[in-house]
Structure 1
Amino acid sequence: MVRFKNRWILVEFIPCNPPEDATRAPTRRTSEAVITTKDIYAALKQSIVHNFGDTGWGAVGYSLTVKYFSPMTNVCIIRVGRDQHKIAWAGVTLLSSFEGRKFIPNVICVSGTIKHAQLAAIQHNRVVVARFRALAKTPTGYHDAYDSFLDRSTKEITALQD
C-alpha cells in the first residue's frame, strides 16, 4: 500500500490597504468582514481554475485543504498532494484578492511534514507579534493581549492533525 504524501504551504496574506495610523498596532475591527478558511479555499479554487483551467483544478482539487487561518496575523496553512504542490503554490502566488479585499500572498514555507509547517507558523506568529509590539513601542517585559494570542495560536497550530 502506498502512502498519500502531502506538501504543506505556509502563506501570509499581507493586506494592501495601509492602516489609518501607522504607529498603532493592527487590531481586529468588527466592521470588517472576517475572512474564513472557506473564503480562502474558494478564492484559491477560483485562482487555479482561472490560471490553469479545469485540468489544473482536477489535479489539485482532490487533495487541497485549508487547515488553519489566523485572522489576526493572516497566516494560513494549506495542505496539497506532493505531485501537485507546484500548481497550488502558483495558484496562491497568483491570488490577488478575495472577499473584495486586496492581499499580497507571501509564501513563507513549503514543507513535507505538518510538524515543520507548524514550527514555521509558530515562529512566524512570534515575529509578527514582535512587529506589532515594535509599532506600538511597548517595553520588552510588558504583558498584553498578544501573549494570550500567542498561547492560543500555538495550541491551535500544534493541535492540527494530518
Structure 2
Amino acid sequence: MVRFKNRWLLVEFIPLELEKPKPGTSRLDGKIIWAALKHSIQNNFGDTGWGAVALSLTVKYFSPTTNICIIRVGRDHHQVAWAGLTLLTSIAGFRYIPNVVHLSGTIRHAQLAAIAHNREVIARYRALAKTPTAYQDSHEKYLETSTAEIEALQD
C-alpha cells in the first residue's frame, strides 16, 4: 500500500494598494484564494494542469491578520501549484504579490514555519508602531490563538 504524498506551501500575500489595509483587516479568505489559484492554473496550464492538481489542492489555513496561507498539494505536481501562485496578479479584484515563504514535505514543518513567520510579521507590525518589546498588546493574544490553530491542523 502506498500513501498519498503531499507538499505544503506556506504563502504570504503582500497587498499592493497605496493604502495598505490595517493589520487584521483582510479582503481574503481560504475560499477566495482557492478559487483564484484554480483560475490562474486553468488560464496558464489549461485543463491538463488543473486536472493534475485539482484533487489534492486544499487551502488548509489562512490568517487575515498576517495574510499567510498554508496550501496542500500532491507531491508530483506541486510545481504547477507553485507556478500558478507565482502567476497570480490579483485576487478578488485587488492586487497582491504571493510570496512562497516555505515548502515542506510534512505538515509539521509547515506549521513550525508558519508560527515562526507569524512572529516575524507581528514583530514588523510592532516596529512600525514603535512599541516597546515588553509592551502587551492585542498581538500577544493573536499569537497565542494562531499558534493553537496552526498546531491543531491535521493532514
- TM-score norm. by structure 2 comes to 0.96
Paired with 1:139 and 1:157, the residues of 2 have a C-alpha distance of 27
SS at match of 2:153: coil
2:136 equivalent in structure 1:
143
Task: Give me the identity figure in percent.
Answer: 65
SS at match of 2:114: helix
Counterparts of residues 8-157 of structure 1 (less than 5 Å): 8-19=8-19, 26-29=22-25, 34-157=27-150
Amino acid at match of 1:142: Y
- TM-score norm. by structure 1 comes to 0.92
Consecutive unaligned residues of structure 1, counting only runs of 5 or more, are none
SS at match of 1:50: helix
Amino acid at match of 1:27: P
Paired with 2:135 and 2:19, the residues of 1 have a C-alpha distance of 24
Show CA shifts across 1:107-147 (max 9, x none).
00010000000000000000000000000000110000000
SS at match of 2:7: strand
4+ runs deviating over 6 angstroms: none
Amino acid at match of 1:85: H
Paired with 2:13 and 2:23, the residues of 1 have a C-alpha distance of 15
Aligned residues: 155
Output the aligned Cα RMSD: 1.3
- Residue 154 of structure 1 deviates from its aligned partner by 0.3
